[in-house]
């Protein structure tokens, strides 16, 4: 029987740094290409891409043969979307636009079976239980899930201390692009005011004993956030790698 231990969640609890890659191309083919690099984690993005649950399932299958952990992001933290992803076998969820502790508490309930939550029970016909071959799945299901929430709006930033205090939230991801917009620096996540706010939030997340995460293609900033204690840091995105590589190659042969 395969080992279903959530290695990503375990690593975060142990405080180890995990370097990630953003996957925005909605196909298992390029996901598997990226998986060969064996980043510690890869974010399957359903918020800003046309990626849907069936695509995420194929991406999970593409990742399975490699030493990388998948984290899935739905477009919004709706209970039915979370249920679908969990039943597909997603162990790690990143929920965008979490603004209040009440919202965070509802997300915790959404990833847990009763009596501790409201997750619907349908594992017998789902991929997560290997179609009922995992007879003990429900016994440890609640503990298998790693719930990460994104704080990225002015409201969320104001409530970050209370959000971090919610039991069942495993980590907080700080969305630099939206934070820069919230602070009046749209398109400039490296602005000193944005960086200072992110650093303030990292300290609050760590104070609560939660994992702090972020995405930045700026290598110096990525190293800075790792030094400050972030334990899940995405350092690039597949679409950006492809675009920059293609343009660099073309520029080498001007016509």
Q: Give percent of the chain with pLDDT exceeding 90.
A: 97
Which is catalytic among the residues 48, 116, 191, 208? 48
Instruction: Name the residue among 248, 236, 244 with its Cα closest to residue 34.
Output: 236
Instruction: State the Cα–Cα distance between residues 183 and 185, nearest whole angstrom.
Output: 6
Report if residue 26 sits inside a domain. yes
Q: How many domains does the chain have?
A: 1
Report if residue 52 sits inside a domain. yes
Report if residue 1 sits inside a domain. no
DSSP type of residue 27? -
Contact 211, 201 (CB under 8 A): no
Contact 72, 44 (CB under 8 A): yes
Pairing mode, strands 41-45 and 171-174:
unpaired
Instruction: State the Cα–Cα distance between residues 88 and 123, nearest whole angstrom.
Output: 9
Report if residue 148 sits inside a domain. yes
Contact 12, 232 (CB under 8 A): yes
Report if residue 2 sits inside a domain. no
Report if residue 124 sits inside a domain. yes
Pairing mode, strands 18-23 and 232-237:
parallel
Instruction: State the Cα–Cα distance between residues 62 and 55, nearest whole angstrom.
Output: 10
Can you tell me which residue has the tokens 């992001």? 73
CATH (domain of 209): 3.20.20.60
For the chain, 255 residues long, give each residue's pLDDT as a single digit of tens.
678 899 999 999 999 999 999 999 999 999 999 999 999 999 999 999 999 999 999 999 999 999 999 999 999 999 999 999 999 999 999 999 999 999 999 999 999 999 999 999 999 899 999 999 999 999 999 999 999 999 999 999 999 999 999 999 999 999 999 999 999 999 999 999 999 999 999 999 999 999 999 999 999 999 999 999 999 999 999 999 999 999 999 999 999
**CA neighbours within 13 Å on the CB side: how many for 4?**
21
pTM of the model: 0.96
Instruction: State the Cα–Cα distance between residues 192 and 198, nearest whole angstrom.
Output: 10
Contact 87, 79 (CB under 8 A): no
Return the SS3 of 22: strand
Contact 78, 107 (CB under 8 A): no
Residue 4: its pLDDT value, please? 87
Which range marks the domain in which residue 21 is found? 7-251
Tell me if residue 48 is catalytic: yes
């Amino acid at each position: 029987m395969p080992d279903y231990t959530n290695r990503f969640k375990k690593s975060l609890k142990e405080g180890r740094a995990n370097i990630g890659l953003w996957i925005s191309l909605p196909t298992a083919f390029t996901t598997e290409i990226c998986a060969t690099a064996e980043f510690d984690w890869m974010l399957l993005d359903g918020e800003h891409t046309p990626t849907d649950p069936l695509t995420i399932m194929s991406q999970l299958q593409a990742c399975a043969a490699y030493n990388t952990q998948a984290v899935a992001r739905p477009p919004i933290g709706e209970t039915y979307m979370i249920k679908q992803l969990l039943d597909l076998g997603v162990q790690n969820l990143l929920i965008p636009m979490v603004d209040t502790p009440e919202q965070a508490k509802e997300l915790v309930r959404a990833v847990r079976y009763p009596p501790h939550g409201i997750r619907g029970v349908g594992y017998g016909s789902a991929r997560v239980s290997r179609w009922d071959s995992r007879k003990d799945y429900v016994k440890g299901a609640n503990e298998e899930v790693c719930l990460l929430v994104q704080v990225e709006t002015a409201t969320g930033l104001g409530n970050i201390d209370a959000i971090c205090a919610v039991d069942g939230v495993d980590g907080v991801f700080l969305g630099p692009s939206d934070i820069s917009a919230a602070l009046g620096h749209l398109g400039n996540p490296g602005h000193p005011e944005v960086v200072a706010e992110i650093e303030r939030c990292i300290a609050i997340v760590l104070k609560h004993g939660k994992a702090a995460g972020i995405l930045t293609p700026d290598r110096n900033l990525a190293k800075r956030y790792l030094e400050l204690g972030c334990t899940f840091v995405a350092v690039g995105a597949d679409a950006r790698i492809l675009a920059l590589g293609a343009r660099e190659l073309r520029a080498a042969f001007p016509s």
